[in-house]
Amino acid sequence: MAEENLSRTLYKIELYLIKVIPMIIAGIYLTNTILSYFYIDLPILSYIGGMSLLPLLFLYLSSYVFKFCAYHRMFLHYIVANDALNYFDYWTDGVFLTGRSFLLLQLIIAGLSMYFVIYLKFKK
């Protein structure tokens, strides 16, 4: 009985964390983007919120396994779009995007993502 309660508690904690972690990471991405435009580098943001492909794949897979709604997946979509833009800028060596246009493009992605998050949250 005690093991069953512990298992149920751990299940609820994991489910909550899988829902909240993409929101926290998206917030860290946005904060890091804005601060980097002003040449403020906080490595702790990269340590806490930095994502590679495998954890992102795990979060996507978990969102489908636990049947999350589109609202919770929007944060993952924002992270993917932001990472894709960052990889593009890295591999092109900043040729196509200057500092200001890069920030503007990232803020447009963030704004569109926030619009869809708010729309999906209050759609009901």
Please write the tens of the pLDDT for every residue from 10-20: 999 999 999 99
42: left (phi over 0), alpha (psi -120 to 50) or beta: beta
Q: Is the pLDDT of residue 124 over 70?
A: no
The Cβ of residue 102 has, within 10 Å, a number of other Cβ atoms equal to: 19
Tokens 């589109």 belong to residue: 70
Q: Is the pLDDT of residue 36 over 90?
A: no
Global pTM exceeds 0.75: yes
Please write the tens of the pLDDT for every residue from 71-122: 889 999 999 999 998 888 888 887 788 888 888 999 999 999 999 999 998 9
Instruction: Give the end-to-end CA distance of the chain in Å, rounded to a whole number.
Output: 38
Helix, strand, coil percentages in the chain from 3-state DSSP, rounded to 5: 80, 0, 20
Phi, psi values for residue 52, rounded to 5°: -115, 180
In the chain, what are the domain boundaries?
A: 2-121
pLDDT (0 to 100) of residue 115? 96
- The helix (run of H) or strand (run of E) holding residue 53 is helix 53-65
Mean pLDDT value across the chain:
90
